[in-house]
A and B are shown apart, each in its own frame.
Chain A
Amino acid sequence: MAASPAPFSLSASTVPARLRAAVAPAAAARGRQRRGRMVVRAKIREIFMPALSSTMTEGKIVSWTATEGDRVSKGDAVVVVESDKADMDVETFYDGIVAAVLVPAGESAPVGAPIALLAESEEEVSLAVAKAQELAKVGQPQQAPPPSADVAGTPPPPPPRPAEAPVVVPAPVVAGTKGIATPQAKKLAKQHRVDLAKVTVTGPFGRITPADVEAAAGIQPKPKVAPAAAAPPPPVAAPSVGAVPQAAVLPPVPGAIVVPFTTMQAAVSKNMVESLAVPAFRVGYPILTNKLDELYEKVKSKGVTMTVLLAKAAAMALAQHPVVNSSCKDGKSFTYNSNINIAVAVAIDGGLITPVLQDADKLDIYLLSQNWKDLVKKARAKQLQPNEYSSGTFTLSNLGMFGVDRFDAILPPGQGAIMAVGASKPTVVTDKDGFFSVKSKMQVNVTADHRIVYGADLAAFLQTFAKVIEDPDSLTL
């Protein structure tokens, strides 16, 4: 503490200074030859920025107690250094004359960098001054010899650090940020060396939140252990859609490879964990799709996909059941959304993204198809803007194309419901008169937030949705 400035000893080392003529033979014996020239060294010592605490990476010179030309003796305080924790008086190890101050008061230098030159005698002062000028010419002398050199410029963590490992910022989604970051976000960014310009923004008003920075730095919210420093291996098989590896508490099986999440994966992980705070429930509904399939055959040539037809159908049903399109932000109220924006889950390389078909109830299927094509293209190129993947009010997830007959989706944060669509399969059905026939039938399963959407709401919504699908003419209107 500044209260009792603990004297701190300097790490000073003998530094050879070039000298043409022979001076003290004792000194010459220590010298090393360079450039094949006959060189003799004099005793000029550098005073280094000391490491005053385990976390200190650079220090600011508060003031020089000794000025150039002052004769100092071993144990004298020569400089006051401000570290990240306190101001401390720093003593010299050697007698000598302060020949040149390299870092003036008020400026900072990394730990281990020379901050002044100490000459042993009057004669050597001029040499030291010359050396100081030389150093100044070279520019910021950043690597300094012995003891403290290892510490220079690098933070304390584990010594074996291959390359610039831990900070992997792939920035899958270029964020349209205004560069506004909260105070803590800025602090974390500095601490984890995250470039704020490359952070995916999720905060309100396009603001970078601490969570965004942590996501970008690959930090999971709960376990504070720093990501393992193993060199990232060539990309392993990308995790399948929605499959987020749970952070296992158990130690990894020997030989296992730890791959830190990308920003997108971290965001998915965060959203999934958040969903646990929502009391969700599920309602399933079987729907006959023969007529929809017929319609699809008709409009396929015009570029309309099944995804768009399902999204449109959902939007039309939502228009009649606004509560399913609402969301619960604070646990106390309904937030009714003025638009019906259908987010559609899409698997992309190494992750999952949900491009949003905006105003799906208002636009016709041809326009929606056009929009959808653009969105998918952008998603693959990782160029979606935040409003193109985060403005959904209802999500559609379709695994039917893989032959999945039914599944259950997890509710994304900020939405009231998500629909999981399975494959349409020929099934034997009986009509009300007892006649058997074979019809295509698909199973949809909706997960909803029970704080706002109740069972009957969801059942009524599904009934409407089924009507639209089973009599799909209205889709083309």
Chain B
Amino acid sequence: MQSTAAVPMSASVITTGGSGARSGAARRPGRIRVCWLRGEALACPSLRISQEPARRAVARAAAASNGAVAGSGGFDYDLVIIGAGVGGHGAALHAVEEGLKTAIIEGDVVGGTCVNRGCVPSKALLAVSGRMRELHDEHHMKSLGLQVSSPGYDRQAVADHANNLASKIRSNLTNSMNALGVDILTGVGTIVGKQKVRYGKVGFPDKEITARNIIIATGSVPFVPKGIEIDGKTVFTSDHALKLESVPDWIAIVGSGYIGLEFSDVYTALGSEVTFVEALDQLMPGFDPEIAKLAQRVLINPRKIDYHTGVFASKITPAKDGKPVLIELIDAKTKEHKETLEVDAALIATGRAPFTKGLGLENINVVTQRGFVPVDERMQVMDADGNVVPDLYCIGDANGKLMLAHAASAQGISVVEQISGRDHVLNHLSIPAACFTHPEISMVGLTEPQAREKADKEGFEINVVKTSFKANTKALAENGADGLAKLIYRRDTGEILGVHILGLHAADLIHEASNAIALGTCVQDIKFAVHAHPTLSEVLDELFKSAKLQPRGVQDSKPNQPPQPLLKVLSFITSLFSSQK
């Protein structure tokens, strides 16, 4: 539980998202891809506002029409979005683009988790940690011919950098919505009935508005398991950690998913020692096993980190009365007490829980599942009887399909497409994910075990090819040759099923693969695309070029008996995974 919550829905995404995309594609061939791409381009606010006069005109027109009631058919708004996080923001911008009169309700601060307590400030901390790490790596510096004497840091200044970045992005977001004429309504939104929302101070929702469509985009909060006492000083969640009020000598991080891993990078770079507590038998459970293994070699073993796997933190007591933070560990299976850790601080990174209380879902007969709002593949909310609630959608962490900021935004754009009369189903398998450690980890699509399972079920064969950053000129020039890129594809059609990268700037490299998946580009086509030399992107170039397809004609000749060498490779790979328990 503790870390699985970090990517809770990944398994279901694969099945529902995957098949959903296919059925959508069958209905309207070609349509979906175009919409998706357009959405991607438009999600960038600055591009729209400043650079293209034509676009600006559209935006102005939209802003002007936002004041008119005419288009709304008696409703106050065409679209009301509850929650101004990244998901709500993406949806609002696209809605204005489509000429919808739009309002967004926010009870806290614009930007939501991502901008204020998540991705954005953590990137500021990671930017610092990456540099600290390099400066402290004497060997690395020496091999570049650089001399640096005892680099240090000012904790408050680092914290300020993170805070300033968050404020800046927050105001950018607010400005972009104001400029387009999206009404920002302050207060907590509650659905009081069909197409009706009330908002205002908590407990006093005094203003009521009607909307043709409603999007729930209320996001999530850090999940804290039972028995853990948060004091915000010595036992805390990412919300507190991002303020960097202290750098403890020794910190335990409960959960080794994206959040835990990124914080381990920050803390070890700033001088802390880290102990991971992971409920599953392996660290980094959401990742492709091979990537996780390499990540352990690169990101865990050489650092001041140790770990306990297969254990729950059943009780965590903050430091008080001269005692350190106490963490009781019990065996994840037998529930027997194993050990008590004494550390200076504990960061709870056991995933995130949906923030859906007080939405008034009971008024429209919707029952949440573990707090998540049930939705279908088009993000339409399902009621307790399994029927679609008309004109009501839920995007982002609140529906739990894929808890990533950019996934929320993509879902929001998909919903606006549907509202505007164009059917659209988002292919979740084309949504990349990244972990901003040093080096970074990124992925899109299926992991190797997931791909094998799918291949077995659907009766096709897959191939896996890999390239190392060691062979890349730019990586070697940067002295950052630790890394691996891995491609999983169908042997017969060349369809890309998954790409996983660990290495320098992996988070930026993944998009070539995610775009290929979104557009349906196959390896045999993308391998002719040209990459500038010398760049890190050549890692993917080499990866695509090394992919070999089943020769035409040989196809299906011996489906049950692959040639001898292949059998060897397969048995080796499967044994590799079976031995990793």
Residues of A within 8 A of B (CB): 1-4, 62-65, 77, 80, 85-87, 105-106, 178, 180, 182-184, 186-187, 204-205, 207, 210
Contact = CB atoms under 8 A, between A and B. Distances in A.
B293 interface: yes
A105 B306 contact: no
Contact of A182 (B250, B467, B485): B250
Contacts of B144: none
What is the interface of chain B mostly: helix, strand, loop, or mixed? mixed
Interface string B18-29: 000000000000
B232 interface: no
A4 to B, nearest CB: 5
A106 B580 CA distance: 8
Contacts of B306: 183, 186-187
Given A63-B576, A80-B572, A186-B306, A3 B467 contact: yes
B579 interface: yes
Contacts of A62: 575-576, 579
A204 B275 CA distance: 17
A180 B342 contact: yes
A1 B576 contact: no
A239 to B, nearest CB: 30
Given A63-B572, A184-B304, A187-B304, A2 B579 contact: no
A113 to B, nearest CB: 19
Contacts of B275: 183
B342 A1 contact: no
Contacts of B179: none
B466 A3 contact: yes
A65 B293 CA distance: 20
A331 B339 CA distance: 36
B305 interface: yes
Contacts of A180: 342
A1 B304 contact: no
A183 B273 contact: yes
A63 B467 contact: no
Interface string B289-302: 01001100100000
A63 B568 CA distance: 12
Contacts of A204: 249, 324, 344
Interface size class on chain B is 20 to 34
- Among B293, B468, B572, B575, the most chain A Cβ lie within 10 Å of the Cβ of B572
Interface in B450-469: 466-468
Given A183-B275, A183-B304, A65 B568 contact: yes
A86 B297 CA distance: 8
A2 B290 contact: yes
A3 B293 contact: no
Contact of A63 (B274, B344, B579): B579
Indicate the member of A62, A63, A105 with the most B CB atoms within 10 Å. A63
A104 to B, nearest CB: 10
Given A62-B579, A80-B576, A2 B273 contact: no
B536 interface: no
A106 B304 CA distance: 26
Contact of A4 (B468, B576, B579): B468
Contacts of B342: 178, 180, 205, 207
Nearest to B252: A183
B484 interface: yes
23 contacts: A1-B484, A2-B466, A3-B467, A3-B486, A4-B468, A4-B470, A62-B576, A63-B572, A64-B575, A65-B575, A77-B572, A105-B579, A180-B342, A182-B249, A182-B273, A183-B273, A183-B275, A183-B304, A187-B304, A204-B249, A204-B324, A204-B344, A207-B250
Contacts of A182: 249-250, 273, 304
B283 to A, nearest CB: 13
B289 to A, nearest CB: 11
A468 B467 CA distance: 80
A1 B324 contact: no
Contacts of B579: 62-63, 105-106
A86 B481 CA distance: 14
Contacts of A205: 323-324, 342
Which of B275, B466, B486, B579 has most chain A Cβ within 10 Å? B579
Contact of A1 (B274, B305, B468, B575): B468
Contacts of A2: 290, 293-294, 466, 484
Contacts of A184: 273, 304
A105 B250 contact: no
Given A3-B485, A105-B579, 13 more contacts: A1-B482, A2-B484, A4-B468, A62-B575, A65-B568, A65-B571, A65-B572, A77-B572, A87-B576, A183-B273, A183-B275, A207-B250, A207-B342
Interface hub of A3, A178, A205 (most chain B Cβ within 10 A):
A3
A31 B468 CA distance: 46
Contact of B297 (A4, A65, A85, A187): A85
B441 to A, nearest CB: 14
A63 B466 contact: no
Contacts of B344: 204
Q: Which 10 A-B pairs have CB atoms at the shortest separation, nearest pair first?
A: A3-B468, A183-B306, A63-B575, A184-B304, A3-B484, A3-B466, A183-B273, A182-B273, A205-B324, A1-B468
